[in-house]
Structure 1
Amino acid sequence: MFLPQLSTTSRCRTVGRLSRLAYRSYTRPSIAPKPTVDIRHIRNAPGLYEQNCIARNYKQQSKNSWRILELHDKLQLQQRHSRNLRERNNFLRRQLANPATRQDPALLEQAKQLKTELADIDAQDKQINDEIEELALALPNLSSLDTPEGDVPSVKEYINEHPDRTPSPSDRVWRNHVHVGSELDMLDFTASATTSGWGWYFLKNEAALLEQALIQYALSTAMKRGWKVVSPPSIVYSHIAHACGFQPRDQNDEQQIYALTQPEKDKNKPSLCLAGTAEIPFAGMKANTVIEEADLPLKIIGASRCYRAEAGARGIDTKGLYRVHEFTKVEMFAWTMPDNVGDDHFSEPTPSSSESLFDEMVSIQKEILQNLGLHCRVLEMPTTELGASATRKIDIEAFFPSRREKDEGWGEVTSASICTDYQTRRLATRVKTEKFGRKHEWPHTVNGTALAVPRVLAAIMEAGWEESSKSMLIPEVLRPFMGGLERIERASRISIQ
């Protein structure tokens, strides 16, 4: 029986979006969807793509658009030369079809030379087209006009009141989810270090129940707005992850994702990896598919286990639930009609279905976090913080008392992104539009975290802890999923030892 193994070289590396070393040495398997990048737009606006790369810190790719333009000009010259040769070849074929000249040695030699020249030109054309495609695929998506340039996010709004602006010096010590988990016998990092190493954990007793409660609450909140529930696989083809903007190696050329080592008999089959987010299998659901316009927007949500190596974690992030290798996350994903169907990229921005779905996702995120009683801030993320696929990204950070010494207590708990047609072009996902005679267009994709269990659980534990009574208050919206339990106390249940 085939048991996939984690690659030994992939342990403790950062999982992330398409890196600045994107597409280097990547070979797309034959079964992978064929990408269709808008090369024409890149050629028409090389300066725009150069500035976009610089603003997003993709300096290595900043000259790609100019190189594409140069290669296109070279290709045009070759194709003109090729047409001349083909005209000459057709003339020779007519002469060789004539009984009076078909045996002429000079004509036969010319035909042989032309055949060789044309084959060489075809090979060169393919090489140039392959390089153009590789350069284009390595470019990140164009940034939205709403995205701040630089590396500083802009605060859009706050959710709920700040719990305590003037805490006591001991606040960060006892109002720490690791401390809370120890006091209430809800977390076990010692056992997980023995079984799995750093970055894994056991949720025990009410923590395990809270995980399920959080999942059910997030799903029910989205379902009320028409989102359909899907349970995705956790193992995906590497080329599907790649097409979504996730790259095996980061900007430091370090392994990012957990690759699966396949048995010798399957070594020629496409490689597999553990999904870092349900966004990847969700996007892949419609690969090589034509969606009917009437079916859009298509909104799905699902809970899945996610696997991230998370390299480079330091200090406070190495303790507790904030940065872990495996966790449960509820993810939203949607396909929408493209913006400005029939218009070009330079059209003035107008309200679009992808923007509407994006706003809906953020609204769901805010509703969930507000009802959980967490103090949060909503951030418009800057260009340097966008993944390769995103044109716009909003993060929501919750306040963690234990993180006061790091980022003033703020820590990311949700994220939402508009990816326009970046993923659908790479996954060959089309939509048949009613406009322009049912022409096929590229739908847009939007994704967002409804709830990442470990971080939200940690924030709830810290916000609800009362040191004096050694108890933790359960948010009211979770109590129906907890059998009506309002507070967790050390004497309130039989613990798992």
Structure 2
Amino acid sequence: MSTRAIEARSFLLRCRRAYSTTRFSLQDTRPATAPRQYPSITQIRDNVELYEHNAVVRNYGSHKAIPRRVADNARRLKELDQQMVGSRQTLKELQKTLNATKGDKSSIIAQMKEIRPSLDALQAERDSLDSETQAMALSLPNLTSSETPTDGRPRMRSYINYDAENPPQYSPSADHSMIGEALGLVDFSSASTTSGWGFYFLMNEAALLEQALIQYALSVAMNRGWSVVSPPSLVYSHMAAACGFQPRDQHDEQQIWQVAQSERDVGKPTRSLAATAEIPLASMYANKTIPAERLPIKLVGSSRCYRAEAGARGVDTKGLYRVHEFTKVEMFAWTDCPPPNHEGLIDEAAWTEHSSQLLDEMVGTQCEILSNLGLPCRILEMPSSDLGASAYRKIDIEAMFPSRKKRDDGWGEVTSASICTDYQSRRLDTRILEPDGSRKKFAHTVNGTALAVPRVLAAILENGWRGEEGCVVIPQVLRGYMGGMEKIGPR
């Protein structure tokens, strides 16, 4: 590696550390084989105030100065390119003269040597500045939908199986941890000895219920035209970062587990346990173009998910609500978007026309599943401060957990659906192939939970609990997957 390249890389790493919200960035470990990333630098340059405001409402206050820096750097890069044009043209002409000269070439060579140092210096400055600008632009979160509240509070959309004027009454014993232990459904003690806190054994009917939930969620999605995929749970760390998942969150708490490498593998790309199937599914089309006529592509997959931050803030330390490992059925889709507009931001309605349709379809699928499971739920438009880096808009559905009445009035998230526009596809180089051969557009991505097993299972135990009988009523739609079983009774 040349001295100039080493200096440029060193400068880039210092920049990434300076502008990262975490102790380190998975971007630092990107191998040469990783997809090339294309942050929207021109859009940031032309809309500095918008991006500054967006950083604040997204709870990225430390990033507020970055859009201005990106804009200043972009202008300086243009100046450097202009400065090098003349020198490069002169060198090109001198090279032609040198090739054509048969006599003394020393004067020509001397002229070329005189020009090259200044040109090399300008090029080195440009390389470092370009790397710095790319890193800063990539550190910014996605823009935010006008539908998204910016006051820090979610906005109520509607209810499922719930009358706010006449809420249901629950037995004090409607606690899934107590129910699970009483009926021999969940073993936390053995799991703690085996794997540590945040793990669990699902036993007997609960193990069957897990499989029933997976099969039911997949069947609903399939009936709506989604193709089934079984994705891996181990992913390259740089792919997780490209999807918007960092090793640590803004509270400096670990989010993703990285897999330790042996000494012989040092220098190879690191791998992480996937926090969600969104990561491997999004990566399926990394470095690829999708023919426009194939869009939208809609996939649904069941996988094991791993969350390192479970219970990290000292809450939900009991039961199945917040755990380290769980099964989740995930929906992921790529869709079309308007052509690039170099004059500024595209009209929001046009920009999200296709992705908004997919978001509505995902939420409709979630509502069908939860409604048929008989769970009382509420649908929320989530605030900007709650959105992950990649999300442009997010809708959550929360179910009623009687055991959580003292926390959030019993409501707890069971599904989430997000529009990510081109945030992920720009970082994974997933483009749309137009009929005319153009590859200028980056596909929009949309993702949503079809069903997260532990929380839904816990909600079924609590809402289906009949204290006077000491049993749990199994939702009608799941009985066919459980041999016709109607109740989980006392042993």
Tell me whether the two structures share a fold, i.e. TM-score over 0.5: yes
Q: What letter is aligned with 1:310? A: E
> Aligned equivalents of 2:396 and 2:358: distance in 1?
16
Change (3 A) 1:19 1:448: farther
Cα distance, 1:58 vs. partner? Answer: 0.7
Task: Answer 1 or 2: higher relative contact order, Cα 8 Å, separation at least 6.
Answer: 1
Q: Deviations over 1:2-41 (max 9, x none)?
A: xxxxxxxxxxxxxxxx983484872321110001122111
Whether the aligned pair in 2 keeps the contact of 1:313 and 1:323 (CA below 8 Å) is: no
> Aligned equivalents of 1:268 and 1:454: distance in 2?
37
Aligned to 1:292: 291
Q: Deviations over 1:281-327 (max 9, x none)?
A: 00001111111112111111011000001255456600000000000
Aligned to 1:272: 271
> Aligned equivalents of 2:120 and 2:221: distance in 1?
57
> Aligned equivalents of 1:474 and 1:253: distance in 2?
41
Aligned to 1:349: 349
Aligned to 1:45: 47
Q: What letter is aligned with 2:441? A: E
Aligned to 1:187: 186
Whether the aligned pair in 1 keeps the contact of 2:328 and 2:451 (CA below 8 Å) is: yes
Q: What letter is aligned with 2:63? A: Q
Whether the aligned pair in 2 keeps the contact of 1:95 and 1:102 (CA below 8 Å) is: no
Q: What letter is aligned with 1:485? A: M
> Aligned equivalents of 2:284 and 2:444: distance in 1?
14
Cα distance, 1:269 vs. partner? Answer: 1.1
Between 120-129 and 87-96, the greater mean CA deviation after superposition:
87-96
Number of aligned residues:
467
Q: Match of 1:251, SS?
A: coil
> Aligned equivalents of 2:410 and 2:20: distance in 1?
28
Return the TM-score normalized by structure 2.
0.90
Between 41-50 and 245-254, the greater mean CA deviation after superposition:
245-254
CA RMSD of aligned residues (A): 2.1
The percent identity for this pair of structures is 52
Between 264-273 and 356-365, the greater mean CA deviation after superposition:
264-273
Q: Match of 2:339, SS?
A: coil
Aligned to 2:468: 468
Aligned to 1:214: 213
Aligned to 1:28: 30
1:65-464 matches, cutoff 5 A: 65-90=67-92, 92-93=94-95, 98=101, 102-104=105-107, 108-162=109-163, 165=167, 167=169, 171-172=171-172, 174-313=173-312, 317-338=316-337, 340-343=338-341, 345-350=345-350, 352-434=353-435, 438-464=438-464
Between 380-389 and 158-167, the greater mean CA deviation after superposition:
158-167
> Aligned equivalents of 2:222 and 2:96: distance in 1?
70
> Aligned equivalents of 1:236 and 1:270: distance in 2?
10
> Aligned equivalents of 2:403 and 2:211: distance in 1?
24
Change (3 A) 1:207 1:95: closer
Q: What letter is aligned with 1:347? A: D
Q: Match of 1:387, SS?
A: coil
> Aligned equivalents of 1:425 and 1:26: distance in 2?
18
Q: What letter is aligned with 2:400? A: F
Q: Which runs of 5+ in 1 are unaligned?
A: 1-17, 492-497
Q: Deviations over 1:332-359 (max 9, x none)?
A: 0011111x33556332514722111110
> Aligned equivalents of 1:312 and 1:450: distance in 2?
23
> Aligned equivalents of 2:463 and 2:488: distance in 1?
13
Q: Deviations over 1:352-383 (max 9, x none)?
A: 22111110000000110011111000000010
Cα distance, 1:84 vs. partner? Answer: 2.9
Between 262-271 and 446-455, the greater mean CA deviation after superposition:
262-271
> Aligned equivalents of 1:187 and 1:103: distance in 2?
85
> Aligned equivalents of 1:308 and 1:244: distance in 2?
15
Cα distance, 1:484 vs. partner? Answer: 0.7
> Aligned equivalents of 1:320 and 1:116: distance in 2?
66
Return the TM-score normalized by structure 1.
0.89
Change (3 A) 1:290 1:91: closer
Aligned to 2:9: none
Q: What letter is aligned with 1:30? A: A
Q: Match of 1:145, SS?
A: coil
> Aligned equivalents of 1:19 and 1:73: distance in 2?
23
Q: Deviations over 1:111-138 (max 9, x none)?
A: 2231222222212111111111101101
Whether the aligned pair in 2 keeps the contact of 1:23 and 1:138 (CA below 8 Å) is: no
Change (3 A) 1:54 1:293: same
